[in-house]
Structure 1
Amino acid sequence: MDLLNFMYSNTFSATTPTAVLGVMMVADKFEVASCMKYCSHLLRNLTMTTESALLYLDLPSNILVADEVQPFNRCCKTVSCSTFQGHNQVPRRCIESSSFGIEAVLSSGNLQIASEDAVFEFVLKWARMHYPKLEERREVWSSHLLHLIRFPCMTCRKLKKVVMCTDFDPKLASKLVFEALFYKAKAPYRQCSIAAEAGNVSYHRYVERHTSTDLLKLLSLNASSGFFLSAHCNMDHQSAFHCFGLFLGMQEKGSVSFAVDYELADRISPGEEYVSKYKGDYTFTSGKAVGYRNLFGVAWTPFLSEDSLFFINGILHLRAELRVRE
């Protein structure tokens, strides 16, 4: 009746998201494009939560791809992406999303999660939950999921897991990891052109998402054990303002421990040597880290300002050295 009233008397009584959504689906069935457009407009202006946005993205694909619904579709994607903001991992509520919803959300470059490794782990769990049969799961990976993962932006440790993962066809997994490692080995100024030349791979796979570790553009850490360098925006408890922190940790699990000498250094001019900021000794055990909550002794806002003295052409240059004691 709402559809008929809209068509013949230009009136519309539905006001709740559920009711409007129902009218839009009926309008799609009877190909009333003007009503679909009007419903799309109403839904965009009603309160939309991340849960409702993910629900909307589970609509039949023929509705979401309609031209009249595209502004609404883009709005759903934007709100859904906020689900990932400030999380180290993809929130659990996303695990119930359909393949269309997952594709719509993870195609974004603004997920604001810790790293691409977290995206890979989530999609792996999602695929195993929705496609328990290995043959079906491999087909879904190759047809719908692989282009969502930006393998060149993953860590080498996680790429090793990709090669060993049975969810992939072995040849396909080796190909993806080889492309990622080849990309990582090239100088940064050449990487964009290499990506553009990869005709059988979409360009966006080579573009880093905006993650919570964006400040760390380059890391060279030579150590035989599983150490990591982690950058964070911290709250300085003494001065009660946000600041830049840097930490060294060990990824090895179990009772293993390492005594090390460490040094953290930075440089603020291209022609200068790295200048030591902090150094000392520390014994690493599983899950432990050493570092400084306010590495530069300044608040977060002046640290990131346009006239900041800590960046060279927009890049923060840091160096961490470790020497494992005998």
Structure 2
Amino acid sequence: ERAFKELLHFMYSGKLTPAIEPTLLVDILMAADKFEVVSCMEHCLAATLTKTAKKFLAQWYKDFLSTEFQDELMRVPLAGIQAILSSNRPRTASEESIYDFVLRWARSQYPNSEERDKILSSRLLPLVPLSMTDAIRIDHPSNIVNFTINRDLCNNLFPLGTVRSVPFNCEGLAFFISACCKEKEQLQFFNLSINMIEGKGATWGPIDYKIEVMTRRSLEFVTKHRHTTPPNTRQTVGCKVPWSELMADDSTFFIDGKLHVRVHVKISQQA
């Protein structure tokens, strides 16, 4: 009710009450977003209130991925999420958790996959730490996903780096691809994996995964890994290659300085 009154006050006066507490500011942003009062949203996040809005939101949600705020944050509109991400780096467990939260929030707020992809690519992912979204290029006409990774980017993953693709959709479920360098028994490996984004309430049948890599010898895709997961099972699927083999001077994995990978994702209907 207070947020609605503040919104009405703004619509008549063009101003908000000074020294608004952070929870009310978030509610005003949500109300302005709901009733499409663009001028109020812009006023909260631009001009004289830009620093104040970001300070309020960033301070209030400084532990913004803690369990305490999860449900509340999922209700925050796009403008509020942008303000939080635009502030100095939110205090959180890892860059991966920021990325995962952004994907879950977008999936919750934008059920339409085309609209969601547009919001993610133009409004949100540019605000996520660059190392998590940099340079995995995707093309997915159906349930086949083709992507490339530059050799320089792969080289920069050593010794324990990670990059992720933008999300892609397959038959109502959302996925992303990650590439990383990991250590096991004092040896370094290059890992490729397909990851499903959590979708609350969603159900699905068995999923068949296949990962293929193009080699320089044949210029054709060679299967590196196959796996089928049971119904309604969220599981990371992937394969690995010794780092020394991948990055060798005579490596067969890079063609014109790029690693070419093709992923098949086939979701069967439940019996």
Pick the TM interval, shorter chain.
Answer: 0.3 to 0.5
Q: Which has the higher helix share?
A: 1
Q: Which has the higher strand share?
A: 2
Question: TM-score with structure 2 length normalisation?
Answer: 0.44
Question: TM-score with structure 1 length normalisation?
Answer: 0.37
Which of structures 1 and 2 has the larger relative contact order (alpha carbons within 8 angstroms, sep 6+)? Answer: 2
